[in-house]
Structures are given as C-alpha cells and as structure tokens.
Structure 1
C-alpha cells in the first residue's frame, strides 16, 4: 500500500447478466445480410473480482473430447517387422549380386595369372631351346657311350 492511503475491504457485488443487442447495417448500399437466427443467444455475465475490476464475457460451454479411435486391425509393430523383412530381402539381393561379381572377378584374375605363367614359361622355353642350336656362341659337347670294365673306364 502507498503511504497515506487507507485499506478498504474488497467490495463483492452480485453478477449482472446482459443480453447482446444485434447491430443493424450502417449504410443502405451494404451487401444484403442473410438473417440467421442462432439457436440460443448466450448470456453475457459480468463478474467483479476481489480487487474491484469487472470482467464481462460470454459463458463458454465445455466441448466434449472426441471419441477414441478404434484400434487398427494390424499393429504398427507387425507393419514395422514386415517392412524390415522387405528391406532385408532387397539388401540380400544386392549382396548376392555383389558376391557373384566378386567371384567372377576372382576367376578372371586367376585366369590372367595362369595365362601370364604360360606365356612367360613359353618365352623361357624358347630362350633355353634356342641356345642349343650353336648360334649363341656356346660350347657343344658330344657325349659318347662309355663303358666300365673291371673298374676301368673305357671311353
């Protein structure tokens, strides 16, 4: 409280009820209104608060909550499991294709290694056998049939 003021007990008054007055169109050239009669005009109530303020308004009826929706025939968990199965099948198809590709790639690499070994072995064989014709400048040895008689060599 402020200094120099006295405190008074709050004044409590009875609630006053007012009926709303409908408005009439202001101009004659306004669009024609279609008269609609409300089923019931709500009452206007004024309430005086303990601190002296007056609150005026319409009484509002509480709305009823919507009825609970019926449970679906299929549970959401079953739908999730089914969708997971479809996704798993799609992934398995992709993995099958991936493993088939890896197997084919491995077979191709094995065939290339075998081809390289055959070609390299053939090249080595040509090098070895071409050295025997004497054109390479090497020594040629003729081996005769030798016999051993009584621990003596007859050559």
Structure 2
C-alpha cells in the first residue's frame, strides 16, 4: 500500500478536461470528375424507414466467392496407389523372369560340365583300355622290392 492511501479513505484526484483544438479549414480543391460509362454506374436504391425518413444510396452487390475448381472424379491418392500397384506388379514380373533366366542358365552350365566330363572321361578310358599295337613310350618293369633293416634291396 502506498502511504497516501489508506484502506478506508477514498482517493481524491484532480480531473483535467482536454478540449480539441480546431484546425482552420484548408482550401478545398474540387476533385476532378472522371467520366464513367453508363453501364458501369450502379443502381441507386431508396429505402423508407418506419419513422418516415428516406435513405438513398447505392446498392452494394455481395462479393461472390471464387468458383471452386472442379474436383476430379477419382482422388489423387487413389490414382497414386493404383499406379504404385501397377509398378510393383511390373517389377515382380521382371523378377520372376530374372529368376527363371538364372535357373535356366544354371541348368545349361550344369549340362555343359556333365557333357565335358563324359567326353573327357571317355577319352581317358579309350587311352587306358584301348589296345594298340603301335604303343610307344617307356616300359617300366616293377619288381618286388625287399626292405631289410632300413636298407633297400631291389
């Protein structure tokens, strides 16, 4: 609490009244008249009030809202989901084709390896088992070797 205020005594303040200072009227310039096309002049309306007074003024047309853009029959989200499904199906089809191609390539390589083994094995068998009178090469006679007390007797 402030010292000049007491809880039981009302506060007395001086009242100041301010009067507005009038400005001298400025020289009024006539505003130029702009010609207006007759079809652009709005209609003047007069209204008679219940007490007999007449109010005249221009009729103001309410502001028309902007027309809404035509909405498509299908939402954009539905179109995006459908396109995503088509793309996913295309990718899955490509993956199935890729898997089939890899499986076919693996089977082909396996068949080539098997064919090479059969041909090469047949050639080896003919070389070993075939009888040929014109054999050339080194003949090696293998005898029984006897090993006694860590000494080779051959």
| TM-score (structure 1 length as normaliser) | 0.48
Normalised TM-score (structure 2)? 0.48
